[in-house]
Amino acid sequence: MHLVMIGGSDAGISAALRARELDPAADVSVVVADAYPNFSICGIPYYVSGEVTHWRNLAHRTIADLRATGMSLRLDTVAQRIDVPARKLLVTGPDGAEELIGYDKLIVGTGAMPAMPPIGGLGGPDALGAADGVHLLHSMGDTFAVMRTLEDTAPASAVIIGAGYIGLEMADALTIRGLRVTQMEQLPEVLPTVDPALGALVRDELAAHGVEVLTGTTVQQISRAHAGQAARVRVDAQAADGAAVSRLADLVLVVTGVRPESRLAAAAGATLGVRGAISVDTGMRTALPDVYAAGDCVITHHRLLGQTYLPLGTTAHKQGRVAGENALGGDREFAGSLGTQVVKIFDQAAARTGLRDHEATAAGFDPVTVPSQADDHKAYYPGSHRITMRVTGDKQTGRLLGLQLFGHRHAEIAKRIDIAATAIFHGMTIDAVSDLDLSYTPPLGSPWEAVQMGAQAWTRQSSMAGISGPGPAIIPSQAG
């Protein structure tokens, strides 16, 4: 049995590891376009900031570790065409030579590409790029280009276009490096994956660390600055009221989302779904015989929404593992995503899982969202932090549909969102969350865990008429 994976990131490597784990006799080849298999691209911002001191430290496993599992790595090798009837993959190797690789089962893990927004100066023959200090950020190659700009030109200022989680992490990273950062976002608030009430808290944290935040600001043009101007590049934008906004910067980062890299599979005849991602069933099978796909290149099965596109590293790992097992004849299913995610912004963290109010309405639920606050541990013990919550539940059934959290980076925001993710995964009601037997000691928690206090605030408020909530219900610390 010869298994071939295309892509050496979270999905492709997870598939290869699982296949080798299940069948040490399986012949597993991983075709990777670059020389950086199994790198944690999620860690790029922390290498750029200097907190991770060497790019090699971002490797989940070294090349030697991977080879020791028995997989064979074909680095700097680009998959060009899949011949489905012949079960052959045409690749171009490091020396440019073409080769046909036969397979019994193929797993496509080609991931995502940075989305290119319609901004003048980013396309065409005279497009600005890394040599001008204008960067995208997705691969290790992009990272090295950013680092060259930082180390060779010592930029004093940066404009980050986009205030999603990667844009925010990079605002944090570049500020740590000493750059003056302006963040431009066309939507009305930063971190649009959470409600504006929490986005506003994220914005406050950015501002507190000196980041200039310009929301409702649509970038239209990036151009080379004129000789004599104080920076290399000029960014022109339009504010929500129509006013012209322009900033000069030495470095520009365009981080406005990703699109699935599904072209190879599509050319072979795979069916595409949401946002042009490869359609797969929950066993990660494409419509093509003996061809599986996983990760950012495929549609996402969501436990509450059905099919969507939600590219995340956690999901890519799980899907890759399922694909690797099923390619060997297994019958594993990807259990579905809830879009659980967390981001650190300087000293704070924001997280979400499940659905927000408008998403729940669109999915046919009858939601109510109740804001509340609680302490991460007993306030009498030093170092406690207030956590801001938004609990979304279904009015008819009391089912927990979503949770959003904002609080100090040491307030266990990530693990607290995971309580809700687990509860939603298992279809629990909000009342039942309040019944969970969770741990407590004053320096680390409260007799009622913060998420349970949020659950109780929801139950209290949703039992009243008219719900919509006047403002955060601050729940006093319980005795204990």
Ligand X SMILES: Cc1cc2nc3c(=O)[nH]c(=O)nc-3n(C[C@H](O)[C@H](O)[C@H](O)COP(=O)(O)OP(=O)(O)OC[C@H]3O[C@@H](n4cnc5c(N)ncnc54)[C@H](O)[C@@H]3O)c2cc1C
Residues near ligand X (CB under 6 A) are: 6-12, 31-34, 41-42, 44-45, 78-79, 109-112, 137-138, 166, 261, 264, 295-296, 311-314, 316
Interatomic CA distance for residues 449 and 51, integer angstroms:
32
* AA letter at 280: V
157 strand-pairing partners: 180
Report the 10 Å Cβ neighbour count for 98.
10
Angle at alpha carbon of residue 408, lines to 406 and 414, rounded to 5°: 65
Residue closer to ligand X by CB (options 31, 401) is 31
| 86 contacts: CB under 8 Å, gap ≥ 6 | none
For ligand X, the closer of residues 143 and 461 by Cβ is 143
Pairing state between β 244-249 and 233-239: antiparallel
For the beta sheet containing 400-408, the strands, ordered from the edge strand earlier in sequence to the opposite edge, are 341-345, 348-354, 400-408, 386-394, 367-375, 473-474
Residue type, 415: K
Closest distance of CB 177 from ligand X, Å: 15
Q: Give dist(CA 270, CA 266) in Å, integer.
A: 5
Q: Which is nearer to ligand X, 138 or 247 (CB)?
A: 138
Give 206 or 264: the residue with its C-beta nearer to ligand X: 264
Q: Which is nearer to ligand X, 45 or 454 (CB)?
A: 45
CB of 370 to ligand X, least distance (A): 27
- Nearest approach, Cβ of 477 to ligand X (angstroms)? 32
Cβ of residue 90: shortest distance to ligand X, in angstroms? 10
Report in angstroms how near the CB of residue 254 gets to ligand X at its nearest. Answer: 12
CB atoms closer than 10 angstroms to residue 440:
15
What minimum distance in Å lies between the beta carbon of 299 and ligand X?
12
| Least spacing, CB of residue 13 vs ligand X, in Å | 7
- Closer of 342 and 368 to ligand X (Cβ): 342
What is the nearest approach in angstroms of ligand X to the Cβ of residue 439?
26
* Closer CB to ligand X, 189 or 296, in the complex: 296
User: From CA 24, how far away is CA 8, in angstroms rounded?
Assistant: 19
Cβ nearer to ligand X, comparing 171 with 231: 171
CB of 313 to ligand X, least distance (A): 3
User: From CA 82, how far away is CA 58, in angstroms rounded?
Assistant: 31
Please say whether the beta carbons of 475 and 434 come within 8 A: no
Distances (CA, A) of 480 to 299, 329, 374: 47, 54, 15
Angle value at C-alpha 274, between 272 and 276, nearest 5 degrees: 50
Please report how close the Cβ of residue 140 comes to ligand X at its closest, in angstroms.
9
Give exposure, 25-53, as e/b (b: 16+ Cβ within 10 Å).
ebbbbbbbbeebbbbbbbbbbbbbbeebe
CA angle in degrees (0–180, nearest 5) for 325-302-341: 95
**In terms of CB distance, is 110 or 392 closer to ligand X?**
110
Residue closer to ligand X by CB (options 190, 428) is: 190
